[in-house]
Amino acid sequence: MNLFGHFDDAAREYVITRPDTPWPWINYMGTDDFFSLISNTAGGYCFCRDAKFRRILRYRYNGVPMDAGGRYFYIKDGETVWNPGWKPCKTPLDAYSCHHGMGYTRITGEKDGLRAEVLFFVPPGARCEIHRVRLTNTSAARKSFQLYSFVEWCLWNASTDMENFQRNLSTGEVEVEPDAIYHKTEYRERRDHYAFYGVSRPFDGFDTDRETFMGMYNGFDAPQQVLSGTSGDSVAHGWSPIASHRFDLTLEPGASEELFFVLGYVENPPEAKFERPGIINKKPARAMLEKYGTAAGADAAFAALKAFWDDLLSRYTVASAVPELDRTVNIWNQYQCMITFFFSRSASYFESGIGRGMGFRDSNQDLAGICHLIPERARQRILDIAATQFPDGGCYHQYQPLTKRGNNDIGGGFNDDPLWLIFGTVAYIKETGDFSILQEQVPFDNKPGTEVSLLEHLKISFAHVTDNLGPHGLPLIGRADWNDCLNLNCFSDNPDESFQTTENKTEGSKAESLMIAGLFVAEGRDFAELLAHPAVATDPAYIEKVRAAVATMEKAVKTHGWDGEWFLRAYDYYGRKIGSHENDEGKIFIESQGWCTMARIGADEGLCDKALDAAVKHLECEHGLVLNTPAYTRYIKDYGEISSYPQGYKENAGIFCHNNPWVIIGEAMAGRADAAWRHYCKITPAFTKDQALRKVEPYVFCQMVAGKDAARPGEGKNSWLTGTAAWTWKCVSEFLLGIKPQYDGMLIEPCIPAAYGTYKIHRRFRDAEYDLTIHYTGRHGSHFIPYAPGRHELEINL
Ligand code: BGC
Ligand code: NOJ
């Protein structure tokens, strides 16, 4: 039932064939520090570096209809006004398509013999969007019509832009030239940046004052000036500045015309802010207009964008018998990994770009999806994250990309956080062999003078767990672990408090986490392996200490964390079990099954197989594995936010896709290919059958799919920015297809149903290129390929 579109794998595009998708289906543009979100009807916004502090376009949250605000083109052809992307006018189109590609979106609408194709993209290394508008007269008669552009400026700070009207409505300022409109609010004082919307030919009219363009009582769907075929030539002073250009155009039958719009952002040094008093220095903007505002410039920029993605997506490719697998691995999963790396959990159609910056645990996990693609940036990210750590190993839960300074806006004291730094660093070094990162000097809390090596940061991360053990020798949970809704020390009965930031009563708490225990064992082993590598050559006594702590933790899990059929989830503040058959609700949780089986705790005694069987029996449903079961049916003050969600949603028994790969990896490590594959297919969007039910984009993973207890099981939410991207990538690339980067080579260790067991992989690994043909017959085994620069062709039978 592919109702709304289809994949075009050769073009690496998803093609949407009707505009009224069940929810805006979006794409991202940008590769460096200028980023854009764009929906299939051209809604969305852009920003430079920071979605909160450097927001360029205004976007309306909670608007009706939703997805209001974007880059809209209006065409007035006779009495008919329409948009190539259908919205906002929603005039029925004769033809519509939206191609979401790698870093670009192309929307085409056709109406009454006029075709308008708009290509939107952000050139690599540039701080602008290009909008290439190609108009073609497909009719047999000459056509005269008008084209209007429209964007609405955000007054930079996306948060105060929505609140501080007493000031905002007086500050707006613009400048207008014959081919460009400049937005310079607050530039007169402390800002050194402005935005502009220019075009490749002079316009015939313009507006920069929103109400003059719209009319006081009209919406985006009926701008007064467009309806009357005029422009107000308005210059905004305060109120709400916009940019709209008007062009009066005539096309002969079959003729085409192209216009190139550049929506850009400029930062000027303080001494070069002004050209003359009050007039902004437009030189950088003019240079961008010259560079990109022509057919040759825009084409070259688009070719550079294609080359950027071609290069990245040629580093790991698979050719298998399963097209859904190939398109996920070769295109969309890697693409989504890049996007989550750029944005962490900040800006999507579910994250406002205002509340959340770069998460400590989130960004570390995201590294697992991109180290093979952009290792240099992974390196920098690790150092940025580590610099938000405190001397005791704890850390800020997030930092703001603009300042790189940590903050407690979404809480702090999550005791899993430090371990993710080991996870991210290990992933980076295994991919790159760059051990030198361990010697980089990194401060604490960004305070100059406090620098120690990254290796020291890893040591104190490890120690943060051993320094914070509970009564059973298991890790104390702190504010929460990975599941930041299992708030065992929070006890909130005040609806005005956020579970994430309210007081955290850790004093005297007995709350321990089996998820952190599993993570500690897995990462502790990785850490010991790293320390023992000749390139690190750490003091053997310290390595022994790490190994001993891991062994002690394993013992604690087996003694106090095993419930009989599965791993317990936690102990609460008072030391009572959570995730046990003894509980009425929340008898079993996914996180501890995933982490303890990935850590192979008690594997020899059969605990892992039992836990994986229990996950299948109790957590698996039609659409994936739910987080816990039975769902909590009422609010439990001792547990916090998890029980605040209705049954089947989010952390309360939703299919929280992020953690499904943990179980899948656990299955793969146990050599259980059929179960691993079945779980993988259930959460992977390329296999989604019912697009209307899934609601969100069928080309990216979502954070959460409603679980079996929900009102609408199978409905997806929180698409795009989720750790699911990096984890499914790790899961499919390393554990199903079995290509595992190691410090000195690659371990080939597949686990996939024998029916799909023959496939080819192309893998770039450091300075080497490997063409592998793998035949996997279900025999759980491995093959080590030592790293050697150059090209290698290998056939591997397992
Ligand atoms: C959500 C979590 C999220 C947290 C972040 C909670 O409301 O359920 O998924 O990580 O907020 O602050
Ligand atoms: C989403 C958050 O971004 C992530 O950090 C957290 O681990 C999950 N929610 C689970 O609660």
Q: How does DSSP classify residue 591?
A: H
pLDDT of residue 679: 98
Instruction: List strand residue ranges (DSSP E) for 54-142, in order.
Output: 55-57, 72-77, 80-82, 95-101, 104-111, 114-121, 128-137
- Per DSSP, the residues of 186-210 read TTTTT--EEEEEEESS--SEEEEEH
102 Cα distance to chain centroid:
14
User: Which residue type sits at 57?
Assistant: L
Q: 483 CB less than 6 Å from ligand 2? A: yes
Q: 362 CB less than 6 Å from ligand 2? A: yes
Task: Looking at the CA of residue 659, tell me the nearest atom of ligand 2.
Answer: 10
- Residues in Cβ contact with 129 at an 8 Å cutoff, skipping those fewer than 6 apart: 29, 34, 36, 46, 71, 120, 121, 122, 262, 263, 264
Ligand 2 centroid distance, CA of 457 (Å): 23
Task: Looking at the CA of residue 498, tell me the nearest atom of ligand 1.
Answer: 7
- Residues in Cβ contact with 574 at an 8 Å cutoff, skipping those fewer than 6 apart: 510, 638
Q: How far is CA 382 from CA 404, 407, 436, 743, in A?
A: 12, 17, 13, 18
Q: Whole-angstrom Cα distance, residue 320 to residue 732?
A: 13
Sign for the pseudo-dihedral over CA of 639, 641, 644, 649: negative
Ligand 1 centroid distance, CA of 727 (Å): 18
Block residue for tokens 């209006």: 74
Block residue for tokens 């080819």: 760
Ligand 2 centroid distance, CA of 248 (Å): 51
Q: Whole-angstrom Cα distance, residue 249 to residue 229?
A: 12
Q: 484 CB less than 6 Å from ligand 2? A: yes
Q: How confident is the model at residue 149 (pLDDT cuts 50, 70, 90)?
A: very high
Ligand 2 centroid distance, CA of 703 (Å): 9
Ligand 2 centroid distance, CA of 701 (Å): 15
* Kind of pairing between the strands at 768-775 and 570-571: unpaired
Task: Looking at the CA of residue 483, tell me the nearest atom of ligand 2.
Answer: 11
Q: 651 CB less than 6 Å from ligand 2? A: yes
Q: How confident is the model at residue 356 (pLDDT cuts 50, 70, 90)?
A: confident
* Kind of pairing between the strands at 143-156 and 72-77: antiparallel
Phi, psi of 453 (to 5 degrees): -70, 160
Q: What is the pLDDT of residues 754-786, one digit of tens each?
A: 999 999 999 999 999 999 999 999 887 899 999
**Total residue count of the chain as it appears in this document:** 798
In testing the pocket of ligand 2, which one of 420, 484, 628, 660 has its CB within 8 Å of the most ligand atoms? 484
Q: 357 CB less than 6 Å from ligand 2? A: no
Q: Is 721 within 8 Å of 700 (Cβ atoms)? A: no
Q: What is the pLDDT of residues 69-117, one digit of tens each?
A: 999 999 999 999 999 999 999 999 999 999 999 999 999 999 999 999 9
Question: Quick one: which ligand is closest to 627's CA?
Answer: 2
Q: Is 691 within 8 Å of 646 (Cβ atoms)? A: no
Residue 258 tokens, joined: 């192209």
Average pLDDT, the chain: 97
Average the pLDDT over 654-675 and give the result.
98
In testing the pocket of ligand 1, which one of 484, 504, 655 has its CB within 8 Å of the most ligand atoms? 484
Block residue for tokens 């690994």: 765
Phi, psi of 659 (to 5 degrees): -95, -10
- Residues in Cβ contact with 473 at an 8 Å cutoff, skipping those fewer than 6 apart: 552, 553, 555, 556, 560
Question: Quick one: which ligand is closest to 723's CA?
Answer: 2
Around 338, how many Cα atoms within 13 Å sit in the side-chain half-sphere?
22
Question: Angle of helix 514-532 relative to helix 454-466, nearest 10 degrees?
Answer: 140
Question: Quick one: which ligand is closest to 589's CA?
Answer: 2
In testing the pocket of ligand 1, which one of 485, 498, 632 has its CB within 8 Å of the most ligand atoms? 485
- Residues in Cβ contact with 383 at an 8 Å cutoff, skipping those fewer than 6 apart: 437, 440, 442, 454
Task: Looking at the CA of residue 485, tell me the nearest atom of ligand 2.
Answer: 11
Average the pLDDT over 207-219 and give the result.
98
In testing the pocket of ligand 2, which one of 627, 658, 701, 718 has its CB within 8 Å of the most ligand atoms? 658
Number of other CB atoms surrounding residue 181 within 10 Å: 27
49 Cα distance to chain centroid:
15
Ligand 2 centroid distance, CA of 365 (Å): 11
pLDDT of residue 751: 97
Q: 359 CB less than 6 Å from ligand 2? A: yes
> For residue 229, is it left (φ>0), alpha (ψ between -120 and 50) or beta?
left
Q: Whole-angstrom Cα distance, residue 364 to residue 416?
A: 12
Catalytic residue numbers read: 484
- Per DSSP, the residues of 511-550 read -EEHHHHHHHHHHHHHHHHHHHSTTT---HHHHHHHHHHH
Buried b (16+ CB within 10 A) or exposed e, 40-77: bbbbbbbbbbbbbbbbbbbbbeeeeeebbbbbbbbbbb
Q: Is 459 within 8 Å of 523 (Cβ atoms)? A: no
Ligand 2 centroid distance, CA of 484 (Å): 6
pLDDT of residue 537: 84
- Of 123-132, 497-506, 703-712, the one with minimum mean pLDDT is 497-506
CA angle 555, 559, 560 (to 5 degrees): 115
Say whether pLDDT at 532 is over 90.
yes
Q: What is the pLDDT of residues 563-619, one digit of tens each?
A: 999 999 999 999 999 999 999 999 999 999 999 999 999 999 999 999 999 999 999
Instruction: List strand residue ranges (DSSP E) for 627-765, in order.
Output: 628-629, 655-656, 702-705, 716-719, 739-742, 745-748, 758-765
Give the DSSP H/E element, type plus range, for residue 664: helix 660-669
Q: Whole-angstrom Cα distance, residue 531 to residue 54?
A: 41
pLDDT of residue 689: 87
Around 320, how many Cα atoms within 13 Å sit in the side-chain half-sphere?
26
* Kind of pairing between the strands at 274-276 and 279-280: antiparallel
pLDDT of residue 2: 60
Q: Is 721 within 8 Å of 345 (Cβ atoms)? A: yes
User: What is the residue with the minimal CA distance to atom 12 of ligand 1?
Assistant: 410
Task: Looking at the CA of residue 703, tell me the nearest atom of ligand 1.
Answer: 9
Question: Quick one: which ligand is closest to 499's CA?
Answer: 1
Say whether pLDDT at 145 is over 90.
yes
Q: What is the pLDDT of residues 264-312, one digit of tens each?
A: 999 999 999 999 999 999 999 999 999 999 999 999 999 999 999 999 9
Task: Looking at the CA of residue 500, tell me the nearest atom of ligand 1.
Answer: 12
Ligand 2 centroid distance, CA of 96 (Å): 37
Q: What does R_g of the chain's alpha carbons equal in angstroms?
A: 27
The 3 state secondary structure assigned to 208-239 is EEHHHHHCCCCCCCCCHHHHHCCCCCECCECC
User: What is the residue with the minimal CA distance to atom 3 of ligand 1?
Assistant: 484
Q: Is 179 within 8 Å of 289 (Cβ atoms)? A: yes
Say whether pLDDT at 386 is over 60.
yes
**Smallest Cα–Cα separation from 119: which of 105, 137, 136?**
105
Residue 235, Cβ density class (10 Å: 0-12 exposed, 13-18 middle, ≥19 buried): middle
Q: Whole-angstrom Cα distance, residue 671 to residue 489?
A: 38
Block residue for tokens 């509980």: 583
Q: What lines the ligand 1 site, CB under 6 Å?
A: 410, 484-485, 500, 641, 650-651
Sign for the pseudo-dihedral over CA of 328, 333, 334, 336: positive
Q: Is 262 within 8 Å of 288 (Cβ atoms)? A: yes
Ligand 1 centroid distance, CA of 410 (Å): 9
- Residues in Cβ contact with 13 at an 8 Å cutoff, skipping those fewer than 6 apart: 7, 99, 100, 101
Task: Looking at the CA of residue 650, tell me the nearest atom of ligand 1.
Answer: 8
**Smallest Cα–Cα separation from 260: which of 300, 292, 303, 286?**
292
Q: In what order do the strands lie in the sheet with 396-399?
A: 358-359, 396-399, 406-412
Q: Whole-angstrom Cα distance, residue 46 to residue 157?
A: 12
Beta bridge partners of 37: 28, 45
Question: Quick one: which ligand is closest to 360's CA?
Answer: 2
- Report the SS3 class of residue 693: helix
Say whether pLDDT at 152 is over 90.
yes
Instruction: Output the furthest CA–CA distance in the chain (Å, rounded).
Output: 86
Buried b (16+ CB within 10 A) or exposed e, 487-511: bbbbebeeeeeebbebebebeebbb
**Smallest Cα–Cα separation from 392: which of 438, 448, 456?**
456
Give the DSSP H/E element, type plus range, for residue 386: helix 375-386
